Structure 1
């Protein structure tokens, strides 16, 4: 990386954490997880398990 490019990018890199903290906490609205198969099948059960674990983490 060229020195000039790094110096031009420095203000953006230093200001990035502040910009991220200023935003609303993620997620700020419900997340939809769509499984495109019939209900009650193996893929549906895996999708429900994944969503349950995501809800605990987020």
Structure 2
């Protein structure tokens, strides 16, 4: 996420098995910290890297 949000600061990033959408991740873990998606839709939206795909540098 940092690379997409701050490309002028980061030049390289490596992700090993990242969570791309918390809606699709293990509910027991996710809901413990983020509550249910229906109760925290903004948190789930802001936590998804899929919303930032267009902001990644293409070089």
Q: Which has the larger radius of gyration?
A: 1
TM-score, normalised with respect to structure 2: 0.26
TM-score, normalised with respect to structure 1: 0.26
Structure with more contact order per residue of length (Cα contacts < 8 Å, sep ≥ 6):
2
Higher helix residue share: 1
